[in-house]
Amino acid sequence: MPVTISDVARAAGVSKGAVSYALNGQAGVSEDTRRRILSTAAALGWTPSLRARSLSSSKAYALGLVVARNPRLLGTDPFFPSFIAGIETTLADSGYSLVLTVATQTGSEEASYRRLAHEGRVDGVILSDMRTDDSRIALLLELGLAAVTLNRPDTPSPFPAVCMDDTEGISQAVQHLVDLGHTRIAHVGGTQHYIHGLSRRNAWANTLKLNGLETDLFIEADFGATEGVAATADLLARDNAPTAIVYANDIMATAGQAYAQQQGLRIPADLSVTGYDNTEYAQYLNPALTSIGSDPLLWGSSAAQVLLNQLDGTHDGADVVLPAPRLITRGSTAAPHNRSSSGSK
């Protein structure tokens, strides 16, 4: 039989209310009695019941994360496991837990948020994979859930954002290639209704324009290996085939690189390649992949912290800006071998 607040109250010779005040650090008890209560509570080994607190305080003491992804792409992406690990480092000593939901079916995403809110499972959610004109902002407002967003959405949002600029890394990659002498630099982008899919493309295009280069070599893919290969095949078959391809993530770069090699191209001599994420295996590819090293762990812990602060009113409402991921140069990028403008096929 676990010890309850009544036991503590009796042992300390006060009322349950006093114990509650003492526990929550609220006014209503003198410093002396508070200490006495707390120490007898510790002596009895009392821990407040989460369920009872939840019921009477109408709080869940939990945060939610809804991951909406194609299951096939899920296992491929190094982001979420690390991101979640980051969230956990913050939650570990906070009394809060993480409720994770995976929405693989289209349409089940909204249902997930609704359920989380309706059942009162969580007090707030972390919004990742922000989309253009993201409908979740209105949804969460309707549901009355607190939230943080990963990067600031393109529509007005009342929620604080934790930002990690992904344009700087891409700009560095493009500039790196330009400096090496490339003039036909393609971009295999991710799904463009994701903010980060779009912003990476824009960074690529802007940097090219700054250098007076064309931005016609663009293909949208889905961040997956299959479409990464298809996009690569498409680009390499063109008359003005690129001498370098900037991919929106490592898995597409990896798959694209392998495809190009199968087609007889040497990397980086015939084709330079860059990725994004700096996946663990990127350095072990052949050649090692030039990539952009983000920090999902930090992003996760920061996002959780901001949300926690928001929930207890500590947050000032300002966005938090994290250091921008930077380019990591490896063997997959080099000066173009020859400048002939002929297609490669």
Partner DNA sequence: ATGAAAGCGCTAACAG
Partner DNA sequence: CTGTTAGCGCTTTCAT
Name the site residues for a copy of itself (rule: CB under 8 A).
47, 49-52, 54-55, 58, 60, 62, 71-82, 84-85, 88-89, 92, 97-104, 108, 116, 118-121, 224-225, 228-229, 251, 254-255, 257-259, 261-262, 279-281, 283-286, 288, 296-297
Distance CA 200, CA 90 (A): 29
3-state SS record for 80-118: HHHHHHHHHHHHCCCCCEEEEEEECCCCHHHHHHHHHHH
Among residues 52 and 92, whose Cβ is nearest to DNA?
52
Sign of CA dihedral 88, 90, 96, 101: negative
Among residues 119 and 216, whose Cβ is nearest to a copy of itself?
119
Distance CA 295, CA 302 (A): 11
Among residues 34 and 182, whose Cβ is nearest to DNA?
34
Among residues 118 and 345, whose Cβ is nearest to DNA?
118
Which residues are registered as beta bridge partners of 163? 321
Per CB under 7 A, 5 contacts DNA: yes
Per CB under 7 A, 94 contacts DNA: no
Rg of the Cα atoms in the chain: 26
E-assigned strand segments in the chain: 62-68, 97-103, 124-127, 146-150, 161-164, 185-189, 218-220, 244-247, 272-274, 291-293, 320-322, 326-328
Which three-class secondary structure state does DSSP give residue 163? strand
Shortest distance, position 34 Cβ to DNA, whole Å: 7
262 binds, among a copy of itself, DNA, none (CB under 5 to 8 A by kind): a copy of itself
15 binds, among a copy of itself, DNA, none (CB under 5 to 8 A by kind): DNA
Distance CA 150, CA 313 (A): 20
What residues between 188 and 227 interact with DNA by CB under 7 A?
none
Per CB under 7 A, 62 contacts DNA: no
244 binds, among a copy of itself, DNA, none (CB under 5 to 8 A by kind): none
Which residues are registered as beta bridge partners of 97? 62
Stretch that binds DNA, among 48-56, 65-73, 103-111, 319-327 (CB under 7 A): 48-56
Shortest distance, position 235 Cβ to a copy of itself, whole Å: 16
Among residues 33 and 263, whose Cβ is nearest to DNA?
33
Q: What is the token pair recorded at 64?
A: 């939610």
Distance CA 15, CA 45 (A): 18
Shortest distance, position 63 Cβ to DNA, whole Å: 18
Per CB under 7 A, 53 contacts DNA: yes
Give the distance from CA 69 to its chain's centroid: 13
- The closest of 242, 234, 233 to 271, measured between CA atoms, is 242
218-220 and 185-189 strand pairing: parallel
For residues 85 and 300, is the Cβ–Cβ distance under 8 A?
yes
Among residues 174 and 307, whose Cβ is nearest to a copy of itself?
307
Which residues are registered as beta bridge partners of 68? 103
Per CB under 7 A, 117 contacts DNA: no
Among residues 58 and 340, whose Cβ is nearest to a copy of itself?
58
Q: What is the token pair recorded at 293?
A: 């090293």
Which three-class secondary structure state does DSSP give residue 185? strand
Q: Which of 39, 49, 104, 283 binds DNA (CB under 7 A)?
A: 49
- Beta carbons within 8 Å of 199's beta carbon, 6+ residues apart: 166, 167
Among residues 61 and 218, whose Cβ is nearest to DNA?
61
Per CB under 7 A, 13 contacts DNA: yes
Q: Which of 18, 62, 267, 271 binds DNA (CB under 7 A)?
A: 18
Q: Which of 38, 46, 107, 237 binds DNA (CB under 7 A)?
A: 46
Per CB under 7 A, 337 contacts DNA: no
Per CB under 7 A, 32 contacts DNA: yes
Q: Which residues bind DNA (CB under 7 A)?
A: 2, 4-6, 13-21, 23-24, 26-30, 32-33, 46-49, 51-53, 55-57
